[in-house]
Chain A
Amino acid sequence: MNLILASTGSYPRIGDSAELQVLRRTIAAADRGECTPAELAEAEQEMTRRAIAEQLEAGLELLTDGQIRWYDPISHLAGKLAGVKIDGLLRFFDTNFYFRQPVLTARPQRTRPLLTLEYRFASDALAALVAARPTDGTPAMKAVLTGPYTLAKFSLVETDAMGALETRALAYAEALAAEIAALVEAGAEFIQVDEPAIVKYPHDWEVFARALQVLTAVRRQASGKPWTLALHVYFHDPTPLYEKLIALPVDVVGLDFTYNPRLVEVVASVGSPVPLALGLVDARNTKLENPEELARQIERMLPRIRGGPCYLCPSAGLEYLPRDRAFAKLALLKRVRQAIRH
């Protein structure tokens, strides 16, 4: 079966039971100055291990660390760069989740690892879990970054030098390119770059594409290790941009199918020269999809997609759902794949 079951990114970092609230309690204690950095790190690690274990239990083959440490998808990366300070809250697209907005006081520069340590931990945790309870196949850990254009789009500036969107996007891209090279060096074989903003603001396409080129250039510079670069877009209808997205120099294009029911027809009609990550399972609503219906949609698209195996995944990260529903959505992926007729 040319369909790999994958996470799209985040996973809930809380649940309804007391043991699943350890991170919330520990962060609150840290805010009050009542716990050590080591205790906070242990709570983050504990919830990361649980997120990975639940993905494994659901049968996923390409996992993430659940982005358990992320304050939000923007400030977690931008806030670690020199030249960036973190400011007030802004709604994250059409979610009722809020992120802290970066403010560029100078050109953003990478002076330390952004995700590499987190990736190493997650990769080791996955290996330990698999060793303790072997699974079919070899589950892999992917690294997920928010892309340079989306970071630039949501950044404020306090320096004229960063006033132009393209200047900001390219500066972020250089910083992220260095991080991607470090992730590859650390063993990451699958890098996912999220650029949700481009489907909402398609008039910025040229800026977005130029920033993406900076990332794809890493392929030529890195140490020769093979790795896959996936671009994911979500939180808006990607249909108008579909043909441009699949022509980009990336290995996989991830799409959110929940905003436009016509997208299935478009993919079935136009096809794709690169594998797609099919975000057919709605990461934003608790209602569980009918696996048979999704299987029929996939059957129409798969024959038209070239370039290697596709991925079946939620439409976006799952932290917008309660934990039990997030797990149910992941478990649904396997049922969908089983329902596909050969």
Chain B
Amino acid sequence: MSREKLEALGVHLPLFPTTSVGSFPKPDYLVRARADFSKGKITQQQLEALERQATQFWIEKQEELGVDVLVDGEQYRGDMVAYFAERMPGFTRGGLVRSYGNRYYHKPIITGEVRWPGPMTVGWWRFAQSLTRKPVKGMLTGPYTVMDWSFNEYYPDRKSTCMALAAAIRREVEALIEAGCKIIQIDEPALSVRPEELPVAIEAMQRVTEGLPAYFITHACYGAFEYIYPEMLRMPVDNFDLEMSNSDLDLLELFRRYPFSKDISFGVVDVHTHVLEDPETVRQRLARALSILPKERIWVDPDCGLKTRTVEEAIGKLTLCVEAARAFRNTAG
């Protein structure tokens, strides 16, 4: 069904389309440039030139590896929520808080009415798409996650915050579609944090996507999906991009009990380890997916964004995804 939607949008993909979740590591020169920019040593234009250089590198690398649906690699973003919060009126930059281990981020604070400031990602999408004939995904963070990962000092409650964000994010989706984007991923990694709020997340996603002509993906990871499955299948998207390997494919048991009814971008490599899986492990993960899910519905990708890995590790993990998909295309096609 979703494949028909893709075809109708003019997007033709092989069996087991390969993609990645969004972020790639920044090359050393860009890491240094971002530090220099924050110290005022280089200009915005100088930084942006290097971000474009890094984006081009990753587009070429994905092409070279044979990835089917590309991402821009988010070389111009720091954190997936902060990037939008820094651009949308209503947000104030907060201090550093920890996400895990030794990783920290600036958690935004909502201090006023949230509004869409005009296109936030469209320019980068256009640039990335101009470098390839393959489809490049539009990459956004969903309203529920932006709400949950921000402090709120303005709206009276979580739902009203979430719906205000949904209205703003829909404008960005419309702008991406107008620019020609056919596949849009709206990440909701916070989806499972409060199972009782799943209806809020669904209503907000409905507000974002309803009636718009694109193939929608949402990414979620590292959550307690057993508490929101199968209800989460009511999310108005075509494809769930799920972290599977870090949790040892535990979700498959849920899918066995209650069939998964959407397309799935199936995470076949763990992004939170420096260790590069051996190809047989990845092959077995995909084989286990195929034992439960129809082959037409499976996309192949890493568990999550690869930005915490080195460039070499990220390429290694992407290569594993592509090789596993190719092998199964040859046998299952």
Report which A residues bind B (CB closer than 8 A). 12-16, 24, 27-28, 31, 71-72, 88-91, 93-100, 285-287, 319-325
With A88-B270, A88-B272 given, is the CB distance from A14 to B104 under 8 Å? yes
**Interface core residue of A91, A96, A323 (most chain B CB under 10 Å):** A96
Which chain B residues in 120-169 approach chain A with CB under 8 Å?
148-149, 151-153
Contact A91 B222 (CB under 8 A): yes
Contacts A91-B223, A96-B149, A96-B190 given: A13-B95 contact, CB under 8 Å? no
Known: A91-B223, A322-B107. A286 touches B98 (CB 8 A): no
Contact B95 A99 (CB under 8 A): no
CB contacts (< 8 Å) of A88 on chain B: these are 246-248, 270, 272
Contacts of A325 in B (CB 8 A): 94-95
Please tell me which one of the listed residues A27, A28, A99, A321 contacts residue B100 in the complex, with CB atoms under 8 A apart: A99
Smallest CB separation, A51 vs chain B (Å) = 14
> How many Å lie between the Cα of A31 and that of B152 in the bound state?
35
**Residues of chain B from 232 to 263 with CB closer than 8 A to chain A in the complex:** 246-248
A322–B222 CB distance below 8 A:
no
Contact, CB under 8 Å: A287 / B97: no
Q: CA–CA, A99 to B100, complex, Å?
A: 7
Contact A96 B247 (CB under 8 A): no
Known pairs A15-B95, A321-B97; A94 contacts B193 (CB<8 A): yes
Q: Is B8 an interface residue (CB 8 A)?
A: no
Given contacts A91-B193, A94-B194, A287-B151, contact A322 B224 (CB under 8 A): no
Q: Count contacts on B: residues with CB < 8 A to the other chain.
A: 30
CA–CA, A100 and B94, complex, Å: 26
Docked complex Cα distance between A226 and B293 (Å): 60
**DSSP majority for the A interface?**
loop
Our pick among A14, A90, A287 for the contact of B96 (Cβ within 8 Å) is A14
Q: Is B148 within 8 A of A15, CB to CB?
A: no
Report the bound CA distance from A246 to B142 in whole Å.
40
Give the chain B neighbours of A31 by CB distance below 8 A. Answer: 102
The CA of A176 and the CA of B73, in the complex, are separated in Å by 45
Q: Mark B190-234, 1 if CB is under 8 A from A, else 0.
A: 101110000000000000000000000000001110000000000
Q: In the complex, what residues of A have CB within 8 A of residue B40's CB?
A: none
State which of B149, B151, B193, B272 has its C-beta within 8 Å of the C-beta of A285: B151
24 A/B residue pairs, CB under 8 Å, sorted by A: A12-B98, A14-B96, A16-B95, A27-B102, A28-B102, A31-B102, A88-B246, A88-B248, A88-B270, A89-B222, A89-B272, A90-B222, A90-B247, A96-B99, A96-B193, A100-B101, A285-B153, A286-B94, A286-B109, A286-B153, A287-B151, A287-B152, A322-B97, A323-B96
CA distance A323 to B107 in the complex (A): 12
CA gap between A13 and B99 in the complex, in Å: 12
A320 to B151, CA, bound (A): 10
Cα A94 to Cα B198 in complex, Å, equals 13
Once the chains are docked, how many angstroms separate the CA of A71 from the CA of B102?
A: 8
Q: Are A71 and B151 in contact (CB under 8 A)?
A: no
Residues on B with beta carbons closer than 8 Å to the beta carbon of A97: 98-100
Q: Which residue of A lies closest to B250 (CB)?
A: A156
A94 to B224, CA, bound (A): 10
**A284-B71 Cα distance, complex, nearest whole Å:** 33
Question: A322 near B95 (CB under 8 angstroms)?
Answer: yes
| CA A321 to CA B101, docked complex, whole Å | 16
A280 to B102, CA, bound (A): 29
Which residue, of A99, A286, A320, has the highest number of chain B Cβ atoms within 10 A?
A286
Residues of the B chain whose Cβ atoms lie less than 8 Å from the Cβ of A99? 100
The answer to whether B194 touches A324 (Cβ under 8 A) is: no
**A296 and B142 alpha carbons, distance in the complex (Å):** 38
- Whether the pair B102, A285 counts as a contact (CB closer than 8 A) is no
C-alpha gap A227/B190 in the complex (Å):
40
Q: Chain A: which residue is nearest B102 at the CB level?
A: A27
Bound Cα distance from A100 to B148, whole angstroms: 21
A90 CB, nearest partner CB in chain B, Å = 6
Nearest chain B CB to A209 CB, angstrom units: 23
List chain B residues, Cβ under 8 A from A286.
94, 109, 151, 153
Contact with A along B165-203 (1 / 0, CB 8 A): 000000000000000000000000110111000000000
How distant is A243 from chain B, measured CB to nearest CB, in Å? 22
Contact of B222 with A98 in the complex, beta carbons under 8 Å: yes
CA of A16 to CA of B224 in the docked complex: distance in angstroms?
32
Q: Which residue on chain B has the smallest CB distance to residue A101?
A: B247
Question: Which A residues lie within 8 Å of B247 (CB)?
Answer: 88, 90
Q: How far is the CA of A304 from the CA of B148 in the complex (A)?
A: 35
**Distance A24 CA – B100 CA, assembled complex (angstroms):** 12
Bound CA–CA A31/B192 (angstroms): 31
A98 touches B107 (CB 8 A): no
**A96 to B189 CA separation, bound complex (whole angstroms):** 9
Instruction: Check B99 against A98 for contact (C-beta < 8 Å).
Output: yes
Give B192 Cβ to nearest chain A Cβ, in Å. 8
Q: Is the CB of B151 within 8 A of A89?
A: no
Residue in A closest to B194 when the chains form the complex, CB atoms: A94
